[in-house]
């Protein structure tokens, strides 16, 4: 990070935060030889992609960790267009907080007409007075409350201040939330952002309630914004997820130049859907996943390493605070909590029995959000990460078509570390 503040020592992919923007055409093949020059083991996880299990980058589950000095070749086809990202999956609460993440953009054959296609990787950092990354990671309070929130927000690795725009232009913003724990709720003042994709997958273009884009850690949104104010306008982009502590994330600064055009582009912004397998809800297998634990929760204990353990001991001796269906996840390798029959549709009701929001992320598949709290979701998007509010029940569905053992976890990385993870197996 640069700008007016001192530089912060970070860990990077290829020397930058974010790492290089990887861009491919839909249907192309990614082939990257990865080398680990860190002092710690790591892996690369390709968040949101439907890929072969062996390429998913989960240590102990899909591959051994890449040791310092080691290499690994990641190679797989890219069936879906959209906005994705990559990050480590070893001690991710530390490694992602140190700056290891980058955007992965897969272009449609025929993208909607826009003047600029712009990627915003949004993050927050917990820095100390010397502008260095605050340690330690994984403090118990963060693990049991809402994760490691930062004190400095960045856009594409820089202390965000302003973003230049031109009157009349249409921008496709690809927003990626790479924060450990911060849920962003962005509003663009007088602008009317239209959401065209969530977590990479197309949705019916729509203006979200209140014009606010809510993105939990791991989530992405593709948003069309027509810059329809006058030349010279300056507008705040505000994050007001915490209503009592809203802050200006950055300013859109209009150039003084003549507008690029006088009325917005008429071109359609509807994207073509990705080739996802069709759901068969009538014959689906049904499951329930209950999230429990955390501060102000009612969880008395959980199964940990096969033994019933009281919450006090989980917290004190094991650094765990959460459970899925009564099991707090321990090491890298876990027994599957669910076995899904390959090719069959699966419906999972996820119940958040805690006082905290949780963005639940499933690897290797896209799922459709059917219902929230008993009501059909108005958009029913295909996503890979669904944000559950406290006490919320959400129903998701997907076709278990990708064989292997996959992680399903909270993307608040401290929650993941503190036990909120499970393995599902497709066989
Ligand atoms: Cu973004 Cu399990 O990961
Ligand atoms: Cu969580």
Average pLDDT score over the chain:
96
CA angle 350–87–323, rounded 5-degree value: 30
338 or 267, higher pLDDT:
338
Third-level CATH fold of 281-426: Immunoglobulin-like (2.60.40)
Q: 411: closest CA among 421, 397, 423, 424?
A: 421
CB atoms under 10 Å from CB of 141, counted, come to 11
Q: Please state the domain extents for the chain.
A: 22-107, 116-254, 281-426
Residue nearest to atom 1 of ligand 1 (CA): 47
Domain pair 116-254 / 281-426, same fold:
yes
Distance 407 CA to ligand 2 centre (A): 14
- Residue 407 pLDDT > 70, yes or no? yes
Which residues contact ligand 1 via a Cβ below 6 A? 45, 47, 87, 89, 218, 361, 363, 407, 409, 411
Q: How far apart are CA 382 and CA 11, in angstroms?
A: 32
Ligand 1 atom nearest the C-alpha of 48 is 1
Please check whether residue 354 is in contact with residue 294, taking contact to mean a CB–CB distance below 8 angstroms. yes
Q: Residue 96 and residue 128: Cα distance in Å, rounded?
A: 17
Residue nearest to atom 3 of ligand 1 (CA): 47
E-state strands within 158-233 = 158-159, 162-165, 170-177, 184-187, 194-198, 201-206, 213-215, 220-226
Of the candidates 196, 181, 211, the residue with the CA atom closest to the CA atom of residue 387:
181
Peptide bond into 136 cis (omega under 30): yes
DSSP for 366-393, written as a single string = -EEEEEETTEE-SS--EESEEEE-TT-E
What's the pLDDT tens digit per position in 53-95?
999 999 999 999 999 999 999 999 999 999 999 999 999 999 9
d(CA 264, CA 67): 52
User: Looking at residue 333, what is its pLDDT?
Assistant: 64
Question: For residue 194, how far is its CA from the centre of ligand 2 (angstroms)?
Answer: 28
**pLDDT exceeds cutoff 70 at 1:** no
> What CATH class does 22-107 carry?
mainly beta
pLDDT band of residue 168 (cuts 50, 70, 90) is: very high
Q: How confident is the model at residue 16 (pLDDT cuts 50, 70, 90)?
A: very high
Question: Contact at 8 Å (CB) between 419 and 320?
Answer: yes
- Over the stretch 188-243, which tens digit does the pLDDT of each residue have? 999 999 999 999 999 999 999 999 999 999 999 999 999 999 999 999 999 999 99
Which CATH number describes the domain made up of 116-254? 2.60.40.420
For the cut 60, the answer to whether the pLDDT of residue 324 exceeds it is: yes
Segment 159-173 mean pLDDT: 94
pTM: predicted TM-score of the whole model, two decimal places = 0.97
Which of the four pLDDT bands, split at 50, 70 and 90, describes residue 5? low
What pLDDT is attached to residue 330? Answer: 87
* pLDDT level of residue 160 (50, 70, 90 thresholds): confident
């Amino acid at each position: 990070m640069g700008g007016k503040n001192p530089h912060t020592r970070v860990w990077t992919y290829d020397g930058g935060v974010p790492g290089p923007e990887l861009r491919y055409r839909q249907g192309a093949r990614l082939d990257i030889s990865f080398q680990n020059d860190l002092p710690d083991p790591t892996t690369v996880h390709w968040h949101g992609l439907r890929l072969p299990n062996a390429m998913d980058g989960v240590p102990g589950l899909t591959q051994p960790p890449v040791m310092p000095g080691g290499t690994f070749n990641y190679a797989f086809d890219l069936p879906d267009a959209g906005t994705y990202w990559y990050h480590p999956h070893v001690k991710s609460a530390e490694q992602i907080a140190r700056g290891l993440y980058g955007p992965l953009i897969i272009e449609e054959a025929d993208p909607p007409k826009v003047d600029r296609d712009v990627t915003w990787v949004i993050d927050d950092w917990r820095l100390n007075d010397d502008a260095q990354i605050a340690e330690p990671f994984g403090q118990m309070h963060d693990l049991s409350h809402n994760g490691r929130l930062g004190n400095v927000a960045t856009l594409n690795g820089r202390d965000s201040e302003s973003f230049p725009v031109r009157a009349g232009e249409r921008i496709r913003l690809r927003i990626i939330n790479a924060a450990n724990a911060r849920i962003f709720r962005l509003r663009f003042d007088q602008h009317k952002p239209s959401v065209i994709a969530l977590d990479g997958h197309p949705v019916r273009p729509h203006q979200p309630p209140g014009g606010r884009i809510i993105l939990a850690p791991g989530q992405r949104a593709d948003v069309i914004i027509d810059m329809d104010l006058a030349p010279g306008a300056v507008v705040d982009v505000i994050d007001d997820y915490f209503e009592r502590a809203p802050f200006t994330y950055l300013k859109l600064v209009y150039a003084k130049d003549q507008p690029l055009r006088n009325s917005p582009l008429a071109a359609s912004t509807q994207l073509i859907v990705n080739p996802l397998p069709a759901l068969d809800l009538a014959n689906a297998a049904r499951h329930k996943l209950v999230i429990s634990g955390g501060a102000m929760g009612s969880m008395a204990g959980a199964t940990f390493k096969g033994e019933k353990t009281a919450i006090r001991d989980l917290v004190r001796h094991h650094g765990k605070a959460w459970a899925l269906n009564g099991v707090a996840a321990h090491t890298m390798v876990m027994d599957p909590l669910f076995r899904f029959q390959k090719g069959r549709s699966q419906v999972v009701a996820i119940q958040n029995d805690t006082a905290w929001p949780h963005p639940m992320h499933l690897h290797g598949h896209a799922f459709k959000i059917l219902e929230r709290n008993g009501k059909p979701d108005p958009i029913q998007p295909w996503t890979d990460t669904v944000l559950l509010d406290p006490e919320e029940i959400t129903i998701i569905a997907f076709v278990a078509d990708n064989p292997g053992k996959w992680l399903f976890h909270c993307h608040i990385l401290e929650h993941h570390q503190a036990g909120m993870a499970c393995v599902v197996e497709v066989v």
